[in-house]
């Protein structure tokens, strides 16, 4: 099976699983006595959605909050090797999608986008599919900043601090993100437009 078909299949399966997990087992209407299992499922879905929209680093007043993902990237060498391979692969995108670990899949897609025009087409179509469910503009920006700030292509760790050594690589990745956002906006159905077109 071609990778683009495999990715499309995984996306479809992932979306079906998301929808099915949102539908209560007793039908579409919930009773006032919502079961503990249903509440638990709702909590998992909300946590999953919150993760997609989570900012990697946020500043409130004089406090800096760093996400668990960014902390792990800063402290776990083997995790950095997983997230920043020498060559980004479609196989890993498929694995992340199957595990519903979409933020990681989106990071890999952003890097694969830069490889060639065929990849650009597949990446944009994939992200447009997810745009029907999520606010992909925000999700992609959050994903970008979650992973770019510790990317070894851009810099290195010295005494526990990340130092940017190749700002032009960071700029190239930022430009790829801008292009992706442009195409998502360009091909997204506009309000009032028939989505079946």
What's the pTM? 0.74
- Render pLDDT for 122-177 as a digit per residue (tens, 0 to 9): 999 999 999 988 899 999 999 999 899 889 999 987 776 778 899 999 999 999 99
- Per-residue confidence band for 5, with pLDDT thresholds at 50, 70 and 90: low
> Radius of gyration (Cα) for the chain, nearest Å?
18
Domain boundary assignment for the chain: 3-19+67-187
Q: Is 155 left (phi over 0), alpha (psi -120 to 50) or beta?
A: beta
Strand partners, 64: 59
- Render pLDDT for 70-82 as a digit per residue (tens, 0 to 9): 888 888 889 999 9
The structure tokens 């499309």 sit at 8
- Render pLDDT for 41-58 as a digit per residue (tens, 0 to 9): 555 555 555 666 677 666
- Per-residue confidence band for 36, with pLDDT thresholds at 50, 70 and 90: low
């Amino acid at each position: 099976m071609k990778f683009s078909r495999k990715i499309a299949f995984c996306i479809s399966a992932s979306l079906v699983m998301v929808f099915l997990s949102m539908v209560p087992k007793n039908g579409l209407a919930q009773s006032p006595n919502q079961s503990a299992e249903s509440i638990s499922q709702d909590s998992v879905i909300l946590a999953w959605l919150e993760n997609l929209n989570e900012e990697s680093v946020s500043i409130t007043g004089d406090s800096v909050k760093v996400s668990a993902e960014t902390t792990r990237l800063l402290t776990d060498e083997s995790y950095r090797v997983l997230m920043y391979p020498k060559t980004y692969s479609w196989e890993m995108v498929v694995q992340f999608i199957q595990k519903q670990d979409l933020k990681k899949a989106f990071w890999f897609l952003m890097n694969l986008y830069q490889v060639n025009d065929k990849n650009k087409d597949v990446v944009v179509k994939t992200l447009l599919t997810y745009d029907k469910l999520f606010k992909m503009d925000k999700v992609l920006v959050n994903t970008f900043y979650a992973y770019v700030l510790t990317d070894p292509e851009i810099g290195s760790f010295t005494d526990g601090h990340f130092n940017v050594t190749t700002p032009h690589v960071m700029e190239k990745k930022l430009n790829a993100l801008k292009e992706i956002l442009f195409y998502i906006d360009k091909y997204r159905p506009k309000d009032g437009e028939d989505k079946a077109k």
